[in-house]
Amino acid sequence: MSKEPMNKLTILGKSRIKYPASPDKAKLETFKNEYPNRDYWISFDCPEFTSICPVTSQPDFGVITIRYIPDKKCIESKSLKLYLFSFRNFATFHEHVVNRVLDDIVRACNPRKASVIGEFLPRGGISINVEASYPEE
């Protein structure tokens, strides 16, 4: 493992958790990829994702799946959990959620490839699935 100090991680290992009020207030932290010369996929599944409908203010529930091939940095999972949790009281459409998460992942770690899939539970008899990828295909 790298000798790079892990003290740059400000969330992991802290017993007191401060939940961010919105994605704008959340921080995605990263650590050094120990295998930058190898293409390998990292996947995160968030089966309890929630956000708020910007029109009705009703809760929306879904599953968010994030997959990426890291380059020099990897996403730290606790910061990702808090980042995704920050959408809980955030008013946004499903399409925006998926594209926002992808943009923030790309901004945080500049992966070689990434995709975000949102599978949202039905409301009004229709479920919505959204997928965005980087680089755009």
For residue 1, pLDDT beyond 60: no
Question: By the 8 A CB rule, do 29 and 9 touch?
Answer: yes
* 8-state DSSP, 89: G
Is residue 2 included in any domain, yes or no? Answer: no
CATH, residue 110:
3.30.1130.10
Per residue in 33-55, pLDDT tens?
999 999 999 999 999 999 999 99
- In this prediction, residue 17 has a pLDDT band, given cuts at 50, 70 and 90, of confident
Domain of 99?
A: 26-134
pLDDT for the residue 90 = 95
Is residue 39 included in any domain, yes or no? Answer: yes
Instruction: Note if 53 is an active site residue.
Output: yes
- Report the range of poorest mean pLDDT among 7-11, 85-89, 103-107, 115-119: 7-11
User: Given 24, 46, 53, 71, which residue is catalytic?
Assistant: 53
Q: What is the pTM of this model?
A: 0.89
Is residue 120 included in any domain, yes or no? Answer: yes
User: Given 46, 60, 104, 109, which residue is catalytic?
Assistant: 60
For residue 12, pLDDT beyond 80: no
